[in-house]
């Protein structure tokens, strides 16, 4: 009997990069690329090879996207034309007759064809179809059916402030589930074309039996899984939660909620989105990207899940570190700081080689990302550095500069001496609050020049790029050039940024709440004691001990950098090894096993 597997990977952020809103696009793209690599290198050895589909929305012109601030327009230029076979043509035709229009394109990755299906759903309110003997618009049919099948109260949910977003998710979930349903029923529908049973059996015997699997990333597509289950369409399904809606609303307070077994939702939880997220329960397997997310799924929804961590994409299979890149980027950062500090504040120029740059990079969620903890620990670090200088353990010319890189969005025309000179008028919202927090603690860069401080914080409210008006360096270059990264988050489902720093062979400090901290137990140790990635307990320790640990660990990296470069280089290598251990191959093999039932070694 002919058999063929089909895997559909679906998400609001799937498709071309122009559909990207945040990090989920990177995750889906990495899953697709890694699946192709596993087929290409024979890790997954099967014939015929599994057919891979990527399902996403299609925003064909400005104003279609529900997310008006991004106003996404789907760019097809990076994809190839796709000519469907007869089976897919029949599926596409059937969908079109039902009012579900799509654009199909393809992409060749390592010799494997990836088929991209992009569904246009914004006009469902203008398409008329029949439902329960009445002519209604497709959008209303979808909502009525969702109520009949699952009890989704769309009349209430669509009237909320985010009603357009809710409606969009229902529409895209419906479209994806209709494609899956049509794909599964190809053989049955073909057999029904012939009244002669013998002919029908002969024709269908030539057709492969399709085993279809659906992997949905994030709550926007979970209704697709629920609908298929309720309609009796059996497919292998996986729902992946990258965080939870109630957990995000609680933010840094979610830790305490888990401790207290407090399953109540905060007032700020969008009920309609949380309801969609709860539909993960209809999946065969629910996965979480980290232990904290797993606990949130259980606490808020009563759903058991399996942890399948995220990974990072590696540019090369080689684990060689580019020491030249690290040295060049560090010198560029040091030179920039020395020149800008002297230009803005005058005084005696600081020797570039005595400037020690570290960084923190995340979204501008001040409390969730632990910025108050970071700033308080920098004050402690300043006292520690001062004592080391007074006891002749460190040259008094050293200055530690911590870049705090976060912003509401890119700035088009930053001032000439950005970010050393930050006029208030270019800052908005939380950016103003964060800058004031730096000034209140006396960590502003001016004090580095006067010598009142040996540790300072430089707020960098910009998206890093080669022409950002400041360092003019890409993210990887800044990470490579800094001697350490610090990520003191109080709410962080996974924290890919820490792994990205490791990819650049930069040691880092991460809070225990970060989703990947458990994975550090498997890290290859090259240095006795504290290694290239240090976890600080910000869950059980008192606040004063937590910020003391942040300061002590930063001091540890500074001391090894200034006094023992061989040991410091080993710390860099250890951080790099972790990044390579945390690639996408293992997570994607787990997803493939869950989706197909085929055990992966």
Mark residue 151 as left, alpha or beta (left: phi above 0; alpha: psi -120 to 50; beta: remaining): left
Q: List phi, psi (to 5°) of 577.
A: -65, -40
Residue 538 has pLDDT above 80, yes or no: yes
Token pair for 300 = 């808020």
pLDDT of residue 320: 81
Q: What is the mean pLDDT of residues 405-432?
A: 94
Contact 4, 209 (CB under 8 A): yes
Residue 444 has pLDDT above 90, yes or no: yes
Q: With bands split at pLDDT 50, 70 and 90, how would you rate the model's confidence at 29?
A: very high
Cα 198 from Cα 215, distance rounded (Å): 37
Cα 598 from Cα 573, distance rounded (Å): 35
Contact 379, 444 (CB under 8 A): no
Cα 213 from Cα 236, distance rounded (Å): 5
Judged by average pLDDT, the poorest of 6-10, 299-303, 453-457, 534-538 is 534-538
Q: Write the DSSP symbol of residue 84.
A: -
Residue that is written with structure tokens 């251990």 in the block: 581
Residue 400 has pLDDT above 70, yes or no: yes
pLDDT of residue 506: 97
Closest CA relative to residue 589, chosen from 7, 31, 16, 27:
31
pLDDT of residue 255: 86
Percent of the chain at pLDDT > 70 equals: 92
Residue 519 has pLDDT above 70, yes or no: no
Judged by average pLDDT, the poorest of 85-94, 231-240, 475-484 is 85-94
pLDDT of residue 527: 61
pLDDT of residue 86: 87
Buried b (16+ CB within 10 A) or exposed e, 135-167: ebbbbbbbbbbbeeebebebeebbeeebeebbb
Q: What is the mean pLDDT of residues 46-70?
A: 92
Cα 144 from Cα 130, distance rounded (Å): 12
pLDDT of residue 204: 57
Q: Is 122 helix (H, G, I), strand (E, B) or coil?
A: coil
Q: Write the DSSP symbol of residue 397.
A: T
Judged by average pLDDT, the poorest of 154-163, 491-500, 511-520 is 511-520
Q: List phi, psi (to 5°) of 193.
A: -75, -20
DSSP string, 484-505: EEEE--SS-S--HHHHHHHHTT
Residues 6+ apart with CB under 8 A from 573: 321, 505, 526, 532
Q: What is the mean pLDDT of residues 163-189?
A: 93
Q: List phi, psi (to 5°) of 131.
A: -140, 120
Q: What is the mean pLDDT of residues 415-437?
A: 95
**Helix-helix angle 163-184:271-278, to 10 degrees:** 20
Please list the alpha-helical segments (H only) found in 41-75: none
Residues 6+ apart with CB under 8 A from 372: 366, 437
Cα 146 from Cα 174, distance rounded (Å): 9
Token pair for 527 = 């240095």
Residues facing residue 459 across a β-bridge: 404
Judged by average pLDDT, the poorest of 176-190, 199-213, 343-357 is 199-213
- Average pLDDT of the chain is 92
pLDDT of residue 209: 74
Residue 499 has pLDDT above 90, yes or no: no
pLDDT of residue 529: 58
Residues facing residue 134 across a β-bridge: 131
Closest CA relative to residue 123, chosen from 63, 183, 54:
63
Residues facing residue 209 across a β-bridge: 3
Q: With bands split at pLDDT 50, 70 and 90, how would you rate the model's confidence at 70?
A: confident
Percent of the chain at pLDDT > 90 equals: 79
Residue 523 has pLDDT above 70, yes or no: no
Residue 191 has pLDDT above 60, yes or no: no
Q: What is the mean pLDDT of residues 296-309?
A: 96
Q: List phi, psi (to 5°) of 238.
A: -130, 130
Cα 70 from Cα 17, distance rounded (Å): 13
pLDDT of residue 539: 87
Q: Is the peptide bond before 419 cis (omega within 30 degrees of 0)?
A: yes
pLDDT of residue 517: 64
Residue 512 has pLDDT above 80, yes or no: yes
Residue 341 has pLDDT above 70, yes or no: yes
Domains of the chain: residue spans and CATH = 3-122+163-243+282-291+306-311+586-596 (3.40.50.2000), 323-583 (3.40.50.2000)
Q: Is 72 helix (H, G, I), strand (E, B) or coil?
A: coil
Closest CA relative to residue 363, chosen from 34, 73, 22, 18:
22
Judged by average pLDDT, the poorest of 24-33, 53-62, 513-522 is 513-522
Token pair for 462 = 């910009």
pLDDT of residue 438: 98
Q: What is the mean pLDDT of residues 125-139?
A: 93
Q: Is 103 helix (H, G, I), strand (E, B) or coil?
A: strand
Q: Write the DSSP symbol of residue 73.
A: -
Q: With bands split at pLDDT 50, 70 and 90, how would you rate the model's confidence at 526?
A: low
Q: With bands split at pLDDT 50, 70 and 90, how would you rate the model's confidence at 381?
A: very high
Q: pLDDT digit string (tens) for 362-375?
A: 999 999 999 999 99
Residue 107 has pLDDT above 90, yes or no: yes
Q: What is the mean pLDDT of residues 149-153?
A: 97
* Sign for the pseudo-dihedral over CA of 122, 127, 132, 135: positive
Rg (CA), the chain: 27
pLDDT of residue 202: 54
Q: pLDDT digit string (tens) for 553-563?
A: 999 999 999 99
Q: Is the peptide bond before 48 cis (omega within 30 degrees of 0)?
A: yes
Cα 347 from Cα 367, distance rounded (Å): 35
Residue 27 has pLDDT above 70, yes or no: yes
């Amino acid at each position: 009997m002919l058999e063929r597997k089909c895997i559909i990977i679906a998400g609001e952020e799937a498709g071309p990069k122009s559909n990207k809103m945040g990090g989920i696009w990177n995750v889906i793209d990495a899953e697709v690329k890694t699946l192709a690599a596993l087929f290409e290198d024979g890790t997954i050895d099967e014939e015929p090879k599994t057919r891979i589909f990527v399902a996403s929305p299609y925003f064909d012109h400005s104003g279609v996207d529900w997310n008006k601030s991004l106003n996404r327009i789907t760019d097809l230029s990076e994809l190839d034309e796709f000519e469907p076979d007869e089976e897919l043509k029949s599926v596409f035709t059937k969908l079109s007759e039902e009012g579900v229009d799509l654009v199909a394109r393809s992409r060749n990755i390592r010799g494997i064809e990836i088929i991209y299906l992009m569904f246009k759903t914004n006009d469902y309110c203008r398409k008329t179809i029949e439902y329960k003997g009445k002519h209604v618009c497709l959008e209303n049919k979808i909502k009525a059916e969702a109520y009949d099948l699952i009890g989704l109260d769309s009349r209430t949910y669509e009237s909320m402030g985010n009603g357009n977003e809710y409606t969009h998710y229902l529409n895209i979930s419906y479209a994806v589930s209709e494609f899956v349903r049509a794909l599964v029923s190809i053989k049955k529908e073909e057999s029904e074309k012939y009244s002669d049973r013998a002919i029908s059996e002969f024709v269908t015997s030539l057709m492969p039996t399709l085993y279809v699997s659906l992997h949905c990333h994030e709550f926007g597509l979970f209704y697709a899984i629920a609908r298929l289950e309720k309609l009796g369409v059996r497919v292998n399904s996986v729902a992946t939660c990258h965080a939870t809606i109630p957990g995000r609303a609680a933010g840094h307070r979610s830790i305490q909620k888990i401790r207290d077994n407090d399953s109540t939702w905060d007032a700020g939880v969008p009920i309609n989105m949380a309801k969609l997220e709860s539909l993960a329960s209809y999946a065969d397997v629910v996965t979480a990207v980290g232990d904290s997310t797993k606990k949130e799924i259980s606490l808020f929804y009563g759903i058991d899940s399996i942890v399948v961590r995220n990974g990072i994409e590696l540019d090369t299979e080689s684990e060689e570190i580019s020491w030249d890149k690290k040295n060049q980027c560090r010198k560029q950062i040091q030179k920039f700081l020395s020149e800008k500090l002297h230009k803005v504040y005058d005084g005696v120029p600081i020797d570039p080689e005595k400037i020690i740059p570290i960084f923190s990079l995340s979204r501008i969620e001040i409390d969730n990302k632990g910025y108050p903890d970071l700033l308080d620990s920098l004050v402690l670090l300043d006292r520690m550095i001062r004592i080391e200088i007074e006891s002749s353990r460190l040259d008094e010319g050293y200055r530690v500069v911590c870049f705090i890189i976060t912003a509401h969005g890119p700035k088009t025309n930053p001032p000439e001496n950005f970010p050393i000179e930050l006029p208030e008028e270019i800052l908005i919202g939380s950016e103003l609050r964060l800058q004031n927090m730096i000034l209140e603690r006396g960590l502003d860069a001016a004090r580095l020049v006067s010598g009142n401080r040996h540790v300072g914080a430089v707020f960098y409210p910009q998206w890093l790029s080669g022409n950002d008006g400041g360092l003019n360096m890409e993210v990887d270059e800044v990470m490579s050039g800094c001697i350490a990264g610090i990520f003191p988050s109080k709410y962080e489902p996974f924290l890919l940024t820490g792994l990205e720093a490791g990819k650049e062979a930069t040691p880092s400090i991460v809070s225990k709440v970060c989703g990947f901290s458990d994975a550090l137990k498997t890290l290859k140790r090259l240095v006795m004691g504290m290694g290239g990635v240090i976890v600080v307990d910000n869950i059980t320790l008192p606040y004063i001990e937590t910020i003391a640990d942040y300061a002590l660990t930063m001091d540890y990296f500074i001391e090894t950098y200034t006094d023992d470069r061989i040991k410091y280089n080993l710390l860099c290598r250890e951080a790099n090894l972790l990044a390579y251990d945390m690639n996408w191959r293992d997570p994607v093999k787990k997803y493939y096993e869950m989706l197909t039932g085929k055990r992966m070694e």
